[in-house]
Structure 1
Amino acid sequence: MHSISRFFLATTIISLTVACKDTNKKTAETDNGNERLEKVKEVVVDTTVITTIPEGIEAPEGMVWVPGKVFEQGAVAQDKVAMDHEKPAHKVAVDGFFMDVTEVTNAQFKKFVDETGYVTVAEREIDWEEMKKQLPEGTAKPHDSILQPGSLTFKKTKGSVPNLYDFSQWWRWTIGASWKHPNGPGSDIKGKDDHPVVHIAYEDALAYCEWANRRLPTEAEWELAARGNHLGTIYFWGDDMDVLSQKGNTWEGEFPVTNTKQDGFERRAPVKSYPPNDLGLYDMAGNVWEWTSDWYNTNYYREVAAQHTILKNPQGASSPYNERDPYAREKVMKGGSFLCNASYCSSYRVSSRMATSLDSSLEHLGFRTVATVDMVSGQ
């Protein structure tokens, strides 16, 4: 799955590729598509991790403690649909931390906006001078009536889709779509305070974190939290896919034509609609995708495994790289969404990881936050 950016608008109009290339990025930086990550300099000798909440520290409201562990990050051996960028599994040591029990909700995000006056990326006026830097030289400017603030919304197709790699068949640029209007101008969030907030670009998530004295989880933290006590299974509950409809909000039926709603929902579900994992975390599979702080780099897992060492509190790749789009600057998102289907992305698997560009805002992408012991003790 390629990243989907705000510039879908311009590229749709001019029939260019959806995944826009950053033409400002020097070719030398990607080494003609064969960029190699810098070797990890830290050789971990002491893999002791924080496993329990230190004395005198209490879990912040709405958060739970995730005990630190040394574990295998990445695809488990029995996962037959794991993608190459989930392999090979590699051992990491992660200190304990606090994590939001749920994805950040509309009510929580509204409180942030009310107190700060923050305007999300999807609500901002579009700067053509900035946008055209991402497009081939000479690209004609679309009419001003088209260059309006908006975001990407999902639409069903009328019939079967033979090419599931062409996601432009079910995504559309919708003027007026934002966190306040998740399905477009005719929609709103009234009565949906407990739904996960969506249409959140990376900088929107960071702004919320700064306000809340939180941060986004690393990919390793997110995976540790999702696994809970199931460190060697495909899903957070085990290996049984037959119970998926009872465990998470995903797409059931033929994607993207028919959703049977066997799990009770067609689009987003209120948080806590499904059972939590054994740490008390909800929606770690499905509902909406969640941002992490890690750069997406196709080669990262292979490079880390080649180090033959255990990384402690890994921060992910030092630079972004996507072999399908060497110019992309993307972050890792985790957890899957209500659009994930066995035939499409099956990203309700714990090790699943996808890339999305920094400016992406979509109706199935949100986030949750974490806090370390140091952050909490300083409050």
Structure 2
Amino acid sequence: MHHPCHPSTLLTALALTLSLSACQTKTTPETPSSEPTASAPVQTDTVPPKMIWIEGGTFTMGSPEPDFWDAHPLHPVTVDGFWMDEHEVTNAEFAAFVAATGYRTVAEIAPDPKDFPNIPVESLVAGSAVFTPPARSVSLENPLQWWTYMAGADWRHPQGPKTTINGRPNDPVVQVCYEDAAAYARWAGKRLPTEAEWEYAARAGKDAQPYYWGTELKPGGQWVANIFQGVFPEGNTSEDGYTTLAPVRSFPPNARGLYDMEGNVWEWCEDFYRPDYYAQSPAKNPQGPENSLDPDEPGAVKRVQRGGSFLCSDEYCIRYKAGSRGKGEVKSASNNLGFRCVKDKS
């Protein structure tokens, strides 16, 4: 099965929970719960920003797995060389952007009543989606049982208003939608990667493997990515050492020196999402379709997401596997969604 590990395909359903959750301040037990603060995280002992040069080349894009029907057909793609962030953009890096520009993320602004005409205006409060594991086993057919639209959840308070990123400068920034990621990239003199660039960099010269790192889920008996272990969604055993986010560079890099190209957080790409695009994709530097179309939510504008997150596993969401695709509505965010940037050769 290929259920979503994040709520980006649940936009309409999550909107219906707004009026029920406007006063909710539930937090997950793992998260630090010092006094809420609007200040930037302490920027000490931070991982330095670094970009890796990705030499251009040709690879086979997509996946042969039947579950990944929107990653068909397999097709050769050539990309020019580019620079790519070594790791996902961190809390410290995003805080520097906000301090320099005064930028407010979408999750920090109350939803526009025009977008939610059936929700009372007083219930339209700033917030975002938070993974909230249930206390017991539930059906995997209803993700609203473990996703909550939480008032006050944003990049500074990723799991709700009583949580904080203080002391966690090297965690990947989350609760950022496409618009937020694109704004950061422009400020940094970079851009978001195309889907082809992202997959080419993640594969690191190794086509036809089930995982970006190789053929075994646990090579040598070791977890090499931050994904979900145990019974989803209520029974995370955290065998890899992390229940939710892992600081960047916590797991081995791929052959190109890139960290967390699988698991940890989903990463925004520049391309619009369409399940039929691969059949007509150009062979050189594809930029994605001219518009988006998701048959599940035809009225939503969506962009591609790649890499999976800490909620992915072979039991539930398998879209951290090589060649698979994710998708997200451009104004939606969650606590397992971040990004990294790329830059053209100057």
The TM-score range, normalised by the shorter chain, is: 0.7 to 0.9
SS of aligned partner of 2:94: helix
1:85 Cα offset (Å)? 0.7
1:232 Cα offset (Å)? 2.5
Q: Which runs of 5+ in 1 are unaligned?
A: 16-59, 133-138, 305-309
Cα offsets for 1:295-346 (capped at 9, x unmatched) = 1101112344xxxxx6110001222111222222111100000011112111
Which of 61, 68, 81 lines up with 1:83 in the alignment? 68
Identity %: 44
Which of 291, 295, 299 lines up with 1:319 in the alignment? 291
SS of aligned partner of 1:247: coil
Cα offsets for 1:146-167 (capped at 9, x unmatched) = 32110110111222233x2421
1:219 Cα offset (Å)? 0.4
Which of 51, 66, 71 lines up with 2:54 in the alignment? 66
Cα offsets for 1:225-284 (capped at 9, x unmatched) = 001121221212211113385210001001101001110000000000000001100000
Which of 331, 335, 338 lines up with 1:363 in the alignment? 335
SS of aligned partner of 2:17: helix
Partner residue in 1 for 2:8: 3
Counterpart residue type for residue 340 of structure 1: C
Query: Which entry has the higher C-alpha Rg, 1 or 2?
Result: 1
The whole-number CA distance in structure 1 between the counterparts of 2:59 and 2:126 is 43
Matched-pair contact (CA < 8 Å) for 2:14–2:144 = no
Counterpart residue type for residue 129 of structure 2: L
TM-score, L = length of structure 2: 0.86
Partner residue in 2 for 1:283: 260
Matched-pair contact (CA < 8 Å) for 1:151–1:199 = yes
The whole-number CA distance in structure 2 between the counterparts of 1:161 and 1:228 is 38
Partner residue in 2 for 1:44: none
Matched-pair contact (CA < 8 Å) for 1:10–1:142 = no
Matched-pair contact (CA < 8 Å) for 1:63–1:101 = yes
Matched-pair contact (CA < 8 Å) for 2:18–2:124 = no
1:82 Cα offset (Å)? 4.2
The whole-number CA distance in structure 2 between the counterparts of 1:238 and 1:324 is 32
Aligned length: 313
1:86 Cα offset (Å)? 1.2
* Structure 1 residues 225 and 197: CA distance shift in structure 2, 3 A: same
The whole-number CA distance in structure 1 between the counterparts of 2:66 and 2:317 is 9
Partner residue in 1 for 2:30: none
Which of 311, 316, 321 lines up with 1:339 in the alignment? 311
1:107-256 aligned at under 5 Å gives the runs 107-132=92-117, 139=118, 141-142=119-120, 144=122, 146-162=123-139, 164-243=140-219, 246-256=223-233
Cα offsets for 1:39-58 (capped at 9, x unmatched) = xxxxxxxxxxxxxxxxxxxx
The whole-number CA distance in structure 1 between the counterparts of 2:300 and 2:125 is 24
Matched-pair contact (CA < 8 Å) for 2:192–2:269 = yes
* Structure 1 residues 223 and 330: CA distance shift in structure 2, 3 A: same
SS of aligned partner of 1:99: strand
Matched-pair contact (CA < 8 Å) for 1:85–1:298 = yes
Matched-pair contact (CA < 8 Å) for 2:132–2:147 = yes
Matched-pair contact (CA < 8 Å) for 1:73–1:92 = yes
1:101 paired to 2:101: no
TM-score, L = length of structure 1: 0.78
The whole-number CA distance in structure 1 between the counterparts of 2:134 and 2:255 is 37
SS of aligned partner of 2:271: strand
* Structure 1 residues 231 and 204: CA distance shift in structure 2, 3 A: same
The whole-number CA distance in structure 2 between the counterparts of 1:227 and 1:147 is 42
SS of aligned partner of 2:230: coil
The whole-number CA distance in structure 2 between the counterparts of 1:96 and 1:116 is 30
The whole-number CA distance in structure 1 between the counterparts of 2:121 and 2:115 is 16
The whole-number CA distance in structure 2 between the counterparts of 1:170 and 1:245 is 28
The whole-number CA distance in structure 2 between the counterparts of 1:349 and 1:265 is 19
